[in-house]
Structure 1
């Protein structure tokens, strides 16, 4: 949890509060024009349906899993964490955090973190928490895929910058850690048998994660050193932004799988 908070803070301070960070984020936003021409209709449909689909899918799937496993306390904690994540994002974006105007072309006020991505990731978190230990890695992988798709859609459709999306994933990760603590300590702790292994699931997630992380890091370096040059390369920045979103989503899923593999 502390790591997620520190990373969130670092992303905010660099990509929102500094000229270099804002420039890089805006380059990725501008580079989305290359993909926007072909994916906008699909991205728009996804974004329009996302809040309702996320809430309904989260309620139905989490309810079914809870009914099968007969663990209502976990469902209450899961929904509480999901709701807290959504409210936290709205508070942060609506008043607690600000984006200074540093003269970067395309400045359009604060959009950090992404609300749509938070809703999608929070719904995935609820399902992840109520899942059984042996299937939790699958819930993490599928849920992260759903959240990633939502985040990339907001970028492709010109709603959010990459840092907004990654920050939203980290907000949900923090509340996922809080939920994990509640479920393992105190009166809410489950007495069910512990079990499950993150071995196979973790390896699958890691094999998918590493290539995206490498591409994201390379694109970041290229964009950083060319951000103020004559050829800034918005397409490279856009590719870096997309792969960074994918890597962040998979990274959160991997960390959750490993940290909560022994959750009751």
Structure 2
């Protein structure tokens, strides 16, 4: 077993990294004029191009809070009864609760959205609470799962989180930056949970998880490239007075997918040696 400081360090870096990225997302997309414009174009594009997706989004989001908690709890408890890792379960639940509470505190008490003349002066909506609920439910299942099945839990959880986040965009509840910020909050608390679990000197995974989810990384990279292209096109359109709302909308969804898949792959890597 590696010394405790070496086992803790990756999670410390993970917590620091998610904090830095979260801060960058907030400062650019909420505090600057251009960031608000880019976010708002994607938001407007979702409204124009939502089509029949609005029915799915509406039903999904209405059921999400209860479904995520109930289904996530049932799956997690079944796993815990088999693996008898109650301590990890308690840590995972505390991390999930902390993620959801901090999301609400950040959104309503800490962060603010200055008026830049871009939107209708809506109050700050970053981070997304529904995204945090979905991601934190996925986090609990991921943490208590057997190391052998954590890659599968990471993939399913990331898809579930993308569905929740994209639905809030289609439903016109949140902008893409809100969704990404919600994922980052949960990822931060997932790293904090990792620090605690690694520090408890629990038995290591034997053997460690071999899957590095490279397919997920490549999908995230492809989505990230498209999101970057869409960002450039949207930025350019603001300079010449044209609108490419579909491109902005697709770019926002791609950024959400890239973030979720990348965080899932990184989380799988960080937890690979923990029981």
TM-score normalised by length of structure 1 = 0.95
- Are residues 1:196 and 2:208 paired? yes
SS in 1 for 2:76: helix
Q: Which residue of 1 aligns with 2:255?
A: 244
Aligned residues: 261
Q: Which residue of 1 aligns with 2:140?
A: 126
Distance 2:144 2:151 in 1: 12
- Are residues 1:101 and 2:120 paired? no
TM-score normalised by length of structure 2 = 0.92
- Are residues 1:211 and 2:222 paired? yes
Distance 2:67 2:76 in 1: 14
> 2:196 pairs with 182, 191, 212, which one?
182
| Runs (5+) with no aligned partner, structure 1 | none
Distance 2:272 2:189 in 1: 17
Distance 1:193 1:147 in 2: 26
SS in 1 for 2:119: coil
| Runs (5+) with no aligned partner, structure 2 | 1-14
Runs of 4+ in 1 over 6 A off after TM superposition: none
CA RMSD in angstroms comes to 1.3
Q: Structure 1 residues 198 and 29, CA, compared in 2 at 3 Å: closer, same or farther? A: farther
Q: Which residue of 1 aligns with 2:82?
A: 68
Distance 1:53 1:179 in 2: 23
Q: Which residue of 1 aligns with 2:240?
A: 229
Alignment deviations for residues 31-74 of structure 1 (CA, whole Å, 9 cap, x no partner): 00233232111100000000000100111111111111111001
Q: Which residue of 2 aligns with 1:40?
A: 54
